[in-house]
Amino acid sequence: MGEYRDDELEMAVESVRVQMTTGRHVLLLKEVALGRILPIWIGPWEASAIAMRLQGVTPERPLTHDLLGAVIGTLGARLERVVIVSLADETFHARLVLATPDARVEVDARPSDAVALAVRLDAPIYAAAVVLDRAAKEMDLDQGADEAAEDDETEPGRGTGEPGRKRASRESVGGTVDAAALAVFRDFVNGLDLEDKGGGS
């Protein structure tokens, strides 16, 4: 378990974008060898977590992915890689491959969480070849990213029935998260009042 496989292809984070027509967020992973793009629609918080790290923005307080990365290191483990392993029922599934002093351990994860952790720990990102064959696109990122993401978007109960159409999952997506949006998110995190007021966790 955890060994590198010929049917897993290395990916790089191309960008995190916002689809202009819907405001939904999409993570674009680019196949290192052939340049195919895998769009994965993700939530706004996860998009911000990935984009903040890519743009070098550091919150004063650690976010969940920062905390998880610190826990992994403190326990003497290492994030060896993350893999987008499957696409089932319009949903992408990922796996963390962790190396410990005694063994390798695999943990199921959402792609957005896996990538947010990978960019923090400088871990490589892979995707199963079968996932790329089903969902990746040839795309001109300068001209067609939003259009490609829009073409891929499907929601539960809204399949087109068109043969061969590439469809993204409920965790899958397009424009880069801009600096203003990141600043609002960073100010929100840094402005949280976390002092104990006599109750709660």
Section 94-107 average pLDDT: 95
The pLDDT value given to residue 46: 93
Q: What distance in Å separates the CA atoms of residue 8 and residue 85, rounded to the nearest whole number? A: 8
Q: What distance in Å separates the CA atoms of residue 182 and residue 56, rounded to the nearest whole number? A: 11
Higher pLDDT, 112 or 56: 112
The pLDDT value given to residue 138: 76
The model's pLDDT over 114-162, given as tens digits with 9 standing for 90+, comes to 999 999 999 999 999 999 999 998 765 554 445 544 444 333 233 333 3
Residue boundaries of the structural domains of the chain: 8-155+167-188
Say which CATH superfamily domain 8-155+167-188 falls into: Bifunctional nuclease domain (3.10.690.10)
Starting from the edge strand earliest in sequence, which strands make up the sheet with 125-128, in order? 37-42, 25-31, 8-18, 125-128, 78-88, 91-99, 104-109
- With residue 108 as reference, give the H or E element that holds it: strand 104-109
The pLDDT value given to residue 19: 85
* φ and ψ of 32, to 5 deg: -65, -40
